[in-house]
Amino acid sequence: MAGNLLVKEGQQVIERIKGEIGKVIIGQDYMIDRILIALFTDGHILLEGLPGLAKSLTASTVASVVDLDFKRIQFTPDLLPADIVGTEIYNQQTGQFVTKKGPIFSNLILADEINRAPAKVQSALLEAMQEKQVTIGDITYQLEEPFLVIATQNPLEQQGTYPLPEAQQDRFMFKLKVDYPSREEEVQIMDRFGSWQEKEEGELARVLSRQELFRIREEVAAIYLDDNLKNYILDIVFRTREGSPYIECGASPRASLNLVKAARGKAYLQGRDYVLPDDVKSIVYDVLRHRIILSFEAEAEDITVEEIIADILEEVNLP
């Protein structure tokens, strides 16, 4: 009972967070919910969508409302790992090397167009995501918690890009496909931002402190997950490894872990201290779509990974 009261209080905080974000972002509830789930469960997000869908603006707005240090890194082909993690600079006056930390030393990192940078730069970022530390010279620095990476990529422009290898995509909790706003939402966007003089919304309130964020993370981790639901998650993940002619490589154990975390986060957003099967089903596409590698046969028959996941959900019995 006490746990449920804490979750209800947390839901009120979430509503205030969404209210502040709504002052800037119109619509995109799906993306905002997933970002909050990742923030509450210590995960990273890969956003795929066309330009102009408020991906970058949403990330910076969330950072403002949740009181996080924010850095945006524009990935380009000439970017170097030192441009992200930092480097040692020689000081002629003292005759010593001085460490200059890069933008990775922040709480929320927006890796804009991550597939435009070469593999060595992607690896520098993804190593920091996994290890939560950076080595510059001979010294290893721990990254300050919370640490969340939101990476974006454009699904259309493939010329001059460096696609993320599957093993590196696996580091992301979610891969989200961001879609266009609805007609009604776009009317609101036109009304609010369609003139040279934008409407003043006032400064965004900081709803959540870092200490409160860590408390919410503990509450999310304590949400009840029945053993039957754990087996349901395992049934889904193991079905991706059972030798389907359309699947070249199934989901890794990270899929199971992230399904558990994300389902708890989804339940928390719904104001519950227990997980339902619908919580798992609502986030399974975002957790699995970048972890299932399709075979040539699937590509030849124009079968998408979403269709594969839908078939698996049909085959696996609900608990």
Task: Tell whether 213 and 270 lie within a shared domain.
Answer: no
The reported pLDDT for the residue numbered 283 is 96
Task: Tell whether 13 and 51 lie within a shared domain.
Answer: yes
The domain of 243 spans 223-319
Q: How many Cα atoms within 13 Å fall on the side-chain side of residue 9?
A: 12
Rounded to the nearest integer, the mean pLDDT of the chain is 88
The reported pLDDT for the residue numbered 198 is 53
Task: Tell whether 281 and 300 lie within a shared domain.
Answer: yes
Greater model confidence, 197 or 240: 240
Among 45, 274, 263, 29, residue whose Cα is nearest residue 153: 45
Task: Tell whether 49 and 133 lie within a shared domain.
Answer: yes
Query: Each residue of 73-104: pLDDT tens digit?
Result: 999 889 998 899 888 888 888 878 888 888 99
Query: Each residue of 283-294: pLDDT tens digit?
Result: 999 999 999 999
Query: Each residue of 208-235: pLDDT tens digit?
Result: 888 899 999 999 999 999 999 999 999 9
Q: How confident is the model at residue 127 (pLDDT cuts 50, 70, 90)?
A: confident
Q: Answer with the one of 191, 222, 253 that is the final residue of a domain.
A: 222
Q: How confident is the model at residue 157 (pLDDT cuts 50, 70, 90)?
A: low
Q: What's the CATH number where 189 sits? A: 3.40.50.300
Greater model confidence, 201 or 88: 88
Task: Tell whether 211 and 80 lie within a shared domain.
Answer: yes
Task: Tell whether 120 and 155 lie within a shared domain.
Answer: yes
CA dist 94 → 20, 43, 98, 102, 130 (Å): 48, 41, 10, 22, 35
The reported pLDDT for the residue numbered 2 is 45
Task: Tell whether 137 and 15 lie within a shared domain.
Answer: yes
Q: How many independent structural domains does the chain possess?
A: 2
The reported pLDDT for the residue numbered 1 is 44
Q: Which amino acid is at 22?
A: G
Q: Report the percent of the chain where pLDDT is more than 70.
A: 94
Task: Tell whether 16 and 41 lie within a shared domain.
Answer: yes
Task: Tell whether 120 and 53 lie within a shared domain.
Answer: yes
Q: Answer with the one of 198, 222, 246 that is the final residue of a domain.
A: 222
Task: Tell whether 112 and 260 lie within a shared domain.
Answer: no
The reported pLDDT for the residue numbered 33 is 94
Q: What's the CATH number where 286 sits? A: 1.10.8.80
Query: Each residue of 40-64: pLDDT tens digit?
Result: 999 999 999 888 888 888 999 999 9
Q: Answer with the one of 222, 239, 257 that is the final residue of a domain.
A: 222
Q: Which amino acid is at 82?
A: A
Q: Report the percent of the chain where pLDDT is more than 90.
A: 47
The C-alpha atoms of residue 38 and residue 34 are separated, in whole angstroms, by: 6
With a cut of 70, say whether residue 308 has pLDDT above it: yes
Q: Residue 150 belongs to what H/E stretch?
A: strand 148-153
The C-alpha atoms of residue 118 and residue 254 are separated, in whole angstroms, by: 25
Q: How confident is the model at residue 4 (pLDDT cuts 50, 70, 90)?
A: low
Mean pLDDT score, 116-140: 85
Residue 175 CA from chain centroid, whole number = 7
Task: Tell whether 267 and 136 lie within a shared domain.
Answer: no
Task: Tell whether 196 and 214 lie within a shared domain.
Answer: yes
Query: Each residue of 246-305: pLDDT tens digit?
Result: 999 999 999 999 999 999 999 999 989 899 999 999 999 999 999 999 999 998 999 999
